[in-house]
Structure 1
Amino acid sequence: MVDEQGKKVKNDEIKIVNDGTYEDYKGFLPILEMHLISLGISQAKQVLLIADGAEWIWKHIPPLLKKLKSPNATYQLFDFYHVTERLQKFADVAFSDDKERNNWFKKARRTLKKSNAMTIIRQMDEFISEATGERCKTMVIQRNYLLRAYRERRLNYAKILDQKLPIGSGAIESLIRQVVNLRIKGNSKFWLKENAEIMLHLRCQWIAGSWDNFCGSIFNSFIKPQTA
């Protein structure tokens, strides 16, 4: 959550919430729904859904937000940095000269941030028209990714920046590194799925700074009310 200045809200009223699962989207959606209700999504002024190109996200999460009465000001956005990776891949194939490649990429990146994706797509089409073979195939893949995101209206970075909202999912990338990569993954580490699921949940609580509350809730669950 962020305030009107785009800064993360850090107080006792709004706790940091981290969670995850190794299940597929069918196992993930109920967890997400629980946390969204707890956070009071229906009372939010605006909601921003940032993700990469994974189809299941765009297929299943927007209906969930609608079900939970998400505000009209609910925006969908492709992660800016994932999209720029596609631009870089295109430039790597389109240009043989390093200077020309870097200049085009930097200009395209600025253009994308201004929400002028169609300008970039037209430029891509010009390069594609002169390409052949595998080079052409690679360029078409990157161009189609950008075109699909544009048609789905998920590249409106200028509007999101004007509202002081983030345009990247860096917070999630960082959490994955802290929760999964630094503890669960590693050389000679093997997990049963159920044990990995437990460790994932525990690490999420620890990183969120809610370990004491988490342990307290477990302890309280074992306390049985005394009968007269």
Structure 2
Amino acid sequence: MIRAGMLKVGAGMLGELLSADRGHRGPRVPCGNGHRAEFISYREKVIDTVLGPVTLNRAWYHCAECKHGLAPRDAELGVAGASLSPGLTAMNDKAAAAGPFAGAAAMLEDLAGIRLTVKRTERAAEASGAAHAARDRERAALTAARKLVPLPLRPAPDMLYGVIDGTGVPMTARETAGREGRGEDGRARTREVKLAVFFNQSELSDEGYPVRDRASSSYIASFETASAFAGLVKAEGIRRGADHVRQLTFIGDGAAWIWNLVTGTFPAATQIVDLYHAREHLHSLARSLEFMLLDHYGEWLEARLEDLDYGYIDGIEAAVREFPLEGTKKTEADKELGYFLNNAPRMRYKWFRQCGLFVGSGVVEAGCKTIVGQRLKQAGMHWTTSGADSIITLRCREASSKWEAICNTPDTQTRTA
């Protein structure tokens, strides 16, 4: 009761404060489309804030050419076309990004005393996420084109990593219509979202293993094509200091689209195939030869794993070529062996470790589970692409470090002439 009373008093004070300027900006104001809108009258608008509903009485203008109205005061307060204040929008974003919309609405009511319907919580969060995504992609396009130049970090990080992967998100039938899938009926039920995480490394542990710098991770994600996602990766790399670091490294699972993306955006970067995925492929290769290895299966596999740890891909190939394979077994072995031959320069694990580099993509694997899976893959969930993209954008912003908030402010970047 005390909280409710204080919120009511606070809402009244906020209303009086906002009403001190009713937004009258003269008899005519620009409408935004090259015309002049005329003052009509003062009209009320109810805004939900962190203190509760507040009534705003502001000047209303109408453009005869565009046939629409506007209130300059709404734009100044950040509520043009919206009924939630920026503060309440941010609270709603956090709650909706954390869990299902019904739980988010209940959380806001329980913790903040703010009552919103589930549908309103959903619409506000998706609209906010879409707005953030649009701004991020506009800024990324300018950065990738070198028209927006982030200020260099001081001091510049010694090592910068970009780790890339993709994961499926369950979609509505309309979103996957006409797409091929892996199911028995050949229909797709998911769409892939591409995820990249950037982080810094400046030291090794006492045991000699690389250590990710605390609070240095930033995440980006998109349902767009690999070529479009490449622009986001390039911009994020530039913003994180890729032009200034001593060592730039990208890690992936061996998918061709990842390496095409990296080669096209940062051709001088070191490329590393995740060691865990490489070992999985080596186990698959061994299984295709099991019928010939018989009792020597374990011994042969152990020797090939040692070859892999040393980056000795020629040794793996030579060991496989010793067997006179034909037909299906030859096709299976050649397919798995091709994975190693195509990625041999990215599998120099002994050398990478001597240089103090990470050789695993665990950070992005965890991101696929925590940022995407925990929120968008719960039982019964089916998303539209736009809705999923909005929520993933909010979760990426939440997962990115506080360093991210500093670097995304206008005062920390500058446009080129």
Asked if structure 1 preserves the Cα contact closer than 8 Å seen for 2:218 and 2:399, the reply is no
Structure 2 distance, partners of 1:181, 1:105, is: 33
Asked if structure 1 preserves the Cα contact closer than 8 Å seen for 2:227 and 2:261, the reply is no
TM-score when normalising by structure 1: 0.80
Match of 1:32?
233
Measured after TM superposition, the shift of residue 192 of structure 1 is 0.9
Structure 1 residues 181 and 159 mapped into 2: Cα distance closer, same or farther (>3 Å)? same
Measured after TM superposition, the shift of residue 44 of structure 1 is 0.5
Structure 2 distance, partners of 1:18, 1:126, is: 45
Asked if structure 1 preserves the Cα contact closer than 8 Å seen for 2:218 and 2:401, the reply is no
Q: Which of residues 90, 95, 104 is equivalent to 2:300?
A: 104
Counterpart secondary structure, 1:187: coil
Match of 1:139?
333
Structure 1 residues 133 and 100 mapped into 2: Cα distance closer, same or farther (>3 Å)? same
Match of 1:60?
261
Structure 2 distance, partners of 1:98, 1:198, is: 52
Match of 1:43?
244
Structure that is richer in strand per residue: 2
1:160 and 2:355 are equivalent in the alignment: no
Structure that is richer in helix per residue: 1
Structure 1 distance, partners of 2:245, 2:405, is: 25
Q: Which runs of 5+ in 2 are unaligned?
A: 1-199, 205-209, 411-417
Structure 1 residues 148 and 195 mapped into 2: Cα distance closer, same or farther (>3 Å)? same
Name whichever of 203-212 and 27-36 sits farther off.
Answer: 203-212
Q: Which runs of 5+ in 1 are unaligned?
A: 67-72, 222-228
Structure 2 distance, partners of 1:81, 1:111, is: 14
Identity %: 22
Structure 1 residues 36 and 88 mapped into 2: Cα distance closer, same or farther (>3 Å)? same
Asked if structure 2 preserves the Cα contact closer than 8 Å seen for 1:47 and 1:74, the reply is yes
Measured after TM superposition, the shift of residue 24 of structure 1 is 1.2
TM-score when normalising by structure 2: 0.45
Name whichever of 48-57 and 159-168 sits farther off.
Answer: 48-57
1:188 and 2:392 are equivalent in the alignment: no
- State the one-letter code of the partner of 2:349: Y
Which deviations, in whole Å up to 9, do the C-alpha atoms of 1:2-56 show, x marking residues without a partner?
Answer: 1142211125xxx320121111113312221221121111110111121222222
Measured after TM superposition, the shift of residue 103 of structure 1 is 2.6
Structure 2 distance, partners of 1:8, 1:60, is: 24
Q: Which of residues 190, 202, 208 is equivalent to 1:3?
A: 202
Match of 2:207?
none
Match of 2:318?
122
Q: Which of residues 253, 266, 283 is equivalent to 1:88?
A: 283
Match of 1:200?
392
Asked if structure 2 preserves the Cα contact closer than 8 Å seen for 1:113 and 1:158, the reply is yes
Structure 2 distance, partners of 1:50, 1:186, is: 28
Structure 2 distance, partners of 1:211, 1:7, is: 18
Structure 2 distance, partners of 1:213, 1:196, is: 23
Structure 2 distance, partners of 1:74, 1:31, is: 17
Structure 2 distance, partners of 1:183, 1:202, is: 11
Measured after TM superposition, the shift of residue 104 of structure 1 is 2.1
Structure 1 residues 205 and 211 mapped into 2: Cα distance closer, same or farther (>3 Å)? farther
Measured after TM superposition, the shift of residue 210 of structure 1 is 4.5
Counterpart secondary structure, 1:167: coil
Measured after TM superposition, the shift of residue 212 of structure 1 is 10
- State the one-letter code of the partner of 2:389: E
Measured after TM superposition, the shift of residue 213 of structure 1 is 4.3
- State the one-letter code of the partner of 1:46: Q
Aligned pairs for 1:165-184 (under 5 A) are 165-184=357-376
Say how many residue pairs are matched.
204
Counterpart secondary structure, 2:395: helix
Measured after TM superposition, the shift of residue 178 of structure 1 is 0.7
Match of 1:77?
272
Match of 1:226?
none
Measured after TM superposition, the shift of residue 166 of structure 1 is 0.9
Asked if structure 2 preserves the Cα contact closer than 8 Å seen for 1:184 and 1:196, the reply is yes
Asked if structure 2 preserves the Cα contact closer than 8 Å seen for 1:79 and 1:167, the reply is yes
Structure 2 distance, partners of 1:212, 1:55, is: 29
Structure 1 distance, partners of 2:226, 2:316, is: 33
Which deviations, in whole Å up to 9, do the C-alpha atoms of 1:116-164 show, x marking residues without a partner?
Answer: 111111001112xx223222211111112212222xx222111110011
- State the one-letter code of the partner of 2:236: H
